[in-house]
Amino acid sequence: MDAQIIKIDTGSKAVPDAVDPDAIDKLIESKFHNTVSLMRGVFLPYKKVKNTKLYKDFVNNNNTLYFENSHIKTVISGHILTQLHANIIDIIMTKLNPQVSEEGYVFVQPSFYELQKYLGWKYKNDTKTIRELLSQLVETKISIFSKTRKIFHEFHILKKVWTDNTIIFSPKFIDFYFKDYLIINYRPLVDVILSFKYSTNQAIARFLISQKRINIGIEVLLPAIGIDRSVSRKEKVRIKKHIIQEKDKFEKLGMTINENLTFIYKKIRKTKRKYTFPANSQ
């Protein structure tokens, strides 16, 4: 999945409308999904991108990035999102008790200290960086077209972050998150994924657990997670070294890596699990 740049009309940054109240019961009865692992091209396999050629091209082309493979097309406008953003969403959804308001919005009132603790940050008083990352999730518009399912989605991930730290999700993202993609029992895997030191390894893990069964070599896998095929030989050597260093963590997720760095994975966990948002008790 090579990254390309195109110019498009990004349109208004207006946040989505409120979710239809009739859909709330369906939302509350939904099974837990991990859409983060399936949003190909949305969360790049980096933690920092500002020093990359990709970022410079992104800025020079109206802050727009385009990804495509045989299954999906993705357009991101506003900001480049990384594995750090994916980590934040996974933490919020699995550890910080999201709720549904009377108006039908999914929201969470997290402790930023707790959020930084789960992110593994040494210093947990960097609220400025957390707010910047959350703002990027508000401002970034994502368009996804599934070629195989002929389904189109367009949304912002977050609708609003209030000064009291209340985070409100975009209803269109929640609709995408809970209705249209693979259902997997993801909660037990989050701690292992967050424990990876290297963002490329996190991206690989998220990609593989979205598959029912896969046998894939490193040369095919890297483009699939967003690493450009033209990446330097030195960078590939570094990535391979990092994979070997964290091989034990991949094994905890049921992923086998042979000596040629071919990944073998077959989903062994139950794929359905009930998950509900508690109603707002206030």
Mean pLDDT value of segment 190-194: 92
Q: Is the pLDDT of residue 201 over 80?
A: yes
| Mean pLDDT in residue range 161-190 | 76
32 and 50 fall within a common domain: yes
Kindly state whether residue 273 falls inside one of the protein's structural domains: no
Which residues neighbour 274 within 8 Å (Cβ) at sequence distance 6 or greater?
A: 31, 32
Strands (E), the chain: 3-4, 43-44, 64-68, 72-77, 81-82, 99-100, 106-108, 141-146, 151-156, 158-161, 167-169, 213-217, 255-257, 262-266
Q: Which domain holds residue 252?
A: 187-266
CB 172 within 8 A of CB 151: no
Q: How far apart, in whole angstroms, are the C-alpha atoms of residue 212 and residue 190?
A: 18
- Please tell me whether residues 175 and 207 are part of one structural domain: no
Burial of 170 (0-12, 13-18, 19+ CB in 10 A): buried
Local confidence band at 269 (pLDDT 50, 70, 90 cut-offs): low
Q: What tens digit of pLDDT does each residue of 134-163 get?
A: 999 999 999 988 888 788 889 999 999 998
Domain count, the chain: 2
Name which of 36-40, 42-46, 186-190, 223-227 the model is least confident about: 36-40
pLDDT top residue among 74 and 262: 262
Q: Predicted confidence band at 27 (pLDDT cuts at 50, 70, 90)?
A: very low
pLDDT digits (tens, 9 = 90+) for 90-144: 898 888 888 888 888 889 999 999 999 999 998 788 899 999 999 999 999 999 8
Same domain, 165 and 214: no
pTM of the model: 0.80
118 lies in the same domain as 66: yes
